[in-house]
Amino acid sequence: MGNRLGAAILVVGFAASGCGSSPSAVELTNQADGTDHGLAMDQEVDLTLGTVGPGQYGEPTISSAAVRFEGMTLPAAQNPGGPTQLYKFRAVAVGAAVIIIPHDTKPAPFTLTLRCCAE
């Protein structure tokens, strides 16, 4: 009986970890390529993408209205080896969105899945 309770708590813990109500921004980098992240309603994602060598990332496409693109800036601190770009997204509706950001010299785009849970 104790093992069942422990397993149930563990499952609930995993389910809640991706959909918490934390208002703080999720900070991601190039290492998040191909990953999946859970967000609370209205939670922001700050995605910093850096390029080594020529080229830069372009305009993102988003597969659904669950996530809104809020803009891209070039942070003041730049690496002389290539540009660093900061993309901002916000979870605005329940659902999942696949974000694809092309790079003008890399064959494969950066991809990320964001899932927004109801509060």
Q: Where are the domains positioned within the chain?
A: 2-117
The structure tokens 């918490």 sit at 20
Nearest by Cα to 100 from 62, 64, 65, 66: 62
**Cα–Cα distance for residue pair 7/17, rounded to 1 Å:** 15
Residue 14 has pLDDT above 70, yes or no: no
* pLDDT single digits (tens) 88-113: 999 999 999 999 999 999 999 999 99
Mean of per-residue pLDDT scores for the chain? 85
In the structure, what pLDDT confidence band is assigned to residue 23 with cuts at 50, 70 and 90?
A: confident
* pLDDT single digits (tens) 54-99: 999 999 999 999 999 999 999 988 888 889 999 999 999 999 999 9
Find the helix or strand (DSSP H, E) in which 17 lies: helix 2-17
Yes or no: domain 2-117 corresponds to CATH 2.60.40.2020? yes
Residue 4 has pLDDT above 90, yes or no: no
Residue 16 has pLDDT above 70, yes or no: no
Least confident of 8-17, 21-30, 97-106: 8-17
